[in-house]
Chain A
Amino acid sequence: MDSALLIHRLQFAFTVTFHYLFPQLTMGLAPLIVVFKTMFLRTGNETYNQAARFWAKVFGINFIMGVVTGIPMEFQFGTNWSQFSRVTGGVIGQPLVMEGVFSFFLESAFLGMFLYGEKRLSPRGHWWSAMLVFLGSWLSGFFIIVTDAWMQHPVAFERAADGSFQVTSFWGLLLNPWALLQYAHNMSGAVITGAFVMAAVGAYYLLEGKFVEHARQFVRIGVIAGLIFSVLQIFPTGDLHGKMMAKYQPASTAGMEGLFESESGAPMVIIGQPDEERQRIDNPIVVNKALSFLIYGTTSAEVRGLNHFPKSDWPTNIPLLYYSYHIMAGLGTIFVAVMLLAAFLLWRNRLYGAHIVLWILMLCLPLPYIANTAGWLTAELGRQPWLVYGLMRTTEGYSKYVSAGNGLFSLLGFMGMYAMLAILFLFLVSREITHGPGDPARDETIGTITA
């Protein structure tokens, strides 16, 4: 691969992967905070409000990291992928501006009120500020998914004489069926992160014997939301997404599954290492005919393997694609198992004393981050070698005038900058977790920060 292209790809991959560590928690926590605020309004129990305040502080730190790492994403379309921007601006420029105009303005206006305005607003007014921040963050996610979905499955466009893409139907672009499914799958993934983080912090407090009343609320809300969305993640959203990929991106599906040869009654590989040179899976553990069944609903259907496609159309990094997909799907299955177990104990009223399960919930904290990251790697590696699936190759899209040396300069700069942000984030969030919820003096000082 051209070394400049490699650097441009690495930089986008690195900055977007790091960036998405933050919005997934923002979008996942926002609805859970609204749940706490709602329960406070309905019961008048102040501990629910304290819980909401505690998570609002974590949310605030997380949000600012999302904002500062998000700006480079929009810039890089132009700086590093200029040829791509030049030909697609007429289409995906739209959802990108709409994100700014419809969601960032909304979020920025109400976030300050939500984080710092509790004393100025009525309880109902403050509930609304939380609700609008939730709405803004989820709208923002929608526009980004519309952008990505168009690259995955281009719709509602025509090619102009100069080769550029022009939108033909506004609603066709926004209601791209790929976008709707991908959005459902992605947002469910974000709530899983929010729920697992909440349950993990609650489990940690219970194991330490601190903030017990709040901790039980965290575990309860976390486990209930975690169970609902872990199930939704697999069925129907993951299932339908997989079928859609098999239909429109069959080469990606073959790469994800490590299916080198077309096969009727294709098996599903659970574990194994893809060997691209010999075109086989080493040390495979498989479920016979499962892949055909999952995709086509019958055990005898033929699934097209990589050999069906010209090698120039193969995903460019099959081993990483394969592992990303298997890590995502494997973790997704584990999430359902963990949350089923925890929810069962919760229902039997035994969860808060079940130390082993609390340990498991606590240690699960990083896993949704890994699963969400692996999911995005699957989507974007599966799209390769295309920028716009089937229409524009990745090799055609990058900024030819930005040399590898200049690209490496900025990539290294981002690495240094983001290392600092990561340290600050972990330090500040662990401080909040140490202080815990329900300290009135602390709520007071935070209430007067900045705003």
Chain B
Amino acid sequence: MLLIWFLLVAIMITAYVVLDGFDLGAGVVHLFVARTDDERRAVIRTIGPVWDGNEVWLLASGGTLYFAFPLLYASGFSGFYLPLMIVLWLLILRGIGVELRMHLESPVWRGFFDGAFSLSSLLLTVFFGAALGNVIRGVPLQKDGYFFLPLWTDWRVGALPGVLDWYTVLAGVVTLVALTLHGAHYVALKTSGDLSVRAALLARRLWPVLALVTILSLWGTLAIRPELLRNYQAFPVLYGIPLAVAASLAAMFVYQRRQAEKAAFLSSCAWLVFMLVGAAAGVYPNLLTSSTTSDLNITVYNAASGMHSLSIGLIWWSFGMILALGYFVFVYRMFRGKITAEGGHG
């Protein structure tokens, strides 16, 4: 039961990263790739019908953590208080950036919301990456299961780190590059003409950067947390995951050159999925690692809700997810294909 809920949370977070990942990535490329008002409008229209639903995965993941692993939710959310508050403000800016831009035909109004949308998307990718970095690196958990992290201390990975240190910043950069590339794939897929070509070109240029930071992050992770290989050594089949990451990188490279937009987009989806699966496989059964002593780790065993709660949860959760998948299939089918100049998605 504990493993099931661990997997469910991991699946939901992965769904969030893959889905809202391209919204955020589209936000990052918004200012750089789209040059005219029409092009910027086109970028917004590619994510307009879906971003809100994609963001619900974040809420649903958070809620599921709250319900299934209350200690992790309580400890993690209060310990990462400052960065989470900043994330909340950025999510607000991103939301109004997408939704309010089109209300006025004024360059100043649109400029403001373009900036809000793009900048908040960019910072969100970095913060989400750093968050994942923090979970892997560990935090100074106290005996009562809580901690509080300042935004930064000495930028070193030690017993008393800050939210930002060299490792978590590296994780932030990896996420920024990966989601920008992912978003560029999405924009290339959903638009046509110059905009699509430029987005595809950006994705091609980012590929070597992504390959480099992927290797760097792997090296960094093993340097600070060699024990993450424990599960891999126990179940060598898991070594397939890093191979799958490499394969998805290779696929990206090939499909970008063949201008197969959909296949390229699916390869960046795969890259994100396998990176997250690789991390989840490494940390299980830990949910939040202690940076001082492993006795204080928050694990699926000490953080979970009661068995009865978890069993009945499984019933309504499955039922709700089937409905949610139905809506997603419906919406993505309805808005499938490239957007057209004449507001075909209107």
Contact = CB atoms under 8 A, between A and B. Distances in A.
Given A68-B95, A72-B88, A109-B331, A116 B346 contact: yes
Contact of B56 (A86, A98, A100, A168): A100
B45 interface: yes
B215 interface: no
Contacts of A424: 96, 100
Given A101-B321, A401-B148, A64 B99 contact: yes
Contacts of B320: 98, 101-102, 105
B328 interface: yes
A316 interface: no
A94 B78 contact: no
Contacts of A61: 103
Contacts of A71: 55, 58-59, 88, 91-92
Contacts of B60: 97, 100-101, 104-105
B324 A105 contact: yes
B70 interface: yes
B254 interface: no
B81 interface: yes
Given A112-B49, A447-B346, A83 B100 contact: no
Contacts of B145: 86
B77 A75 contact: yes
Given A166-B305, A170-B316, A450-B48, A86 B71 contact: yes
A421 interface: yes
A90 B44 contact: no
Nearest to B335: A451
Contacts of A89: 66-70, 73-74, 305
A247 interface: no
Contacts of A370: none
B92 A447 contact: no
Given A82-B75, A86-B70, A105-B56, A167 B316 contact: no
Given A71-B59, A450-B49, A79 B85 contact: yes
A417 B92 contact: yes
A88 B70 contact: yes
B92 A68 contact: yes
B333 to A, nearest CB: 11
Interface size class for chain B?
Answer: 35 or more
B66 A91 contact: no
Interface in B302-322: 305-306, 308-309, 312-313, 316-317, 320-321
Given A90-B67, A105-B327, A399-B78, A413 B102 contact: no
Given A93-B66, A97-B317, A424-B96, A449 B102 contact: yes
B62 interface: yes
B346 A97 contact: no
Nearest to B304: A90
B32 interface: no
A430 B91 CA distance: 25
B74 A109 contact: no
A106 B82 contact: no
B96 A68 contact: yes
A93 B59 contact: no
Contacts of B59: 71, 74, 100, 104
Interface string A397-412: 0011111001001100
Interface size class for chain A?
Answer: 35 or more
Nearest to B98: A450
B223 interface: no
Looking at chain A's contact residues, the main secondary structure is helix
Interface in A148-190: 160, 164, 166-168, 170
Contact of B308 (A78, A83, A168): A168
A101 to B, nearest CB: 3
A96 interface: yes
A170 B309 CA distance: 8
A166 B306 contact: yes
A238 B317 CA distance: 34
Given A86-B70, A170-B312, A68 B305 contact: no
Interface string A108-129: 1111110011011000000000
Contacts of B68: 89, 93
A410 B144 CA distance: 24
A57 to B, nearest CB: 9
Contacts of B92: 68-69, 71-72, 417, 421
18 contacts: A61-B103, A78-B73, A79-B81, A79-B85, A86-B145, A90-B305, A93-B63, A93-B70, A98-B316, A105-B60, A106-B323, A116-B48, A410-B82, A410-B85, A413-B85, A424-B96, A450-B48, A450-B102
Interface of B: 44-45, 48-50, 52-53, 55-56, 58-60, 62-64, 66-71, 73-79, 81-82, 84-85, 88-89, 91-92, 95-96, 98-100, 102-103, 142, 145-148, 305-306, 308-309, 312-313, 316-317, 320-321, 323-324, 327-328, 330-331, 334-335, 343, 345-346
Given A61-B103, A108-B53, A450-B99, 8 more contacts: A78-B77, A79-B77, A93-B70, A105-B56, A108-B56, A116-B48, A166-B306, A399-B146
Interface of A: 60-61, 64, 67-69, 71-72, 74-75, 77-80, 82-83, 85-91, 93-94, 96-102, 104-106, 108-113, 116-117, 119-120, 160, 164, 166-168, 170, 399-403, 406, 409-410, 413-414, 417, 421, 424, 428, 431, 447-451
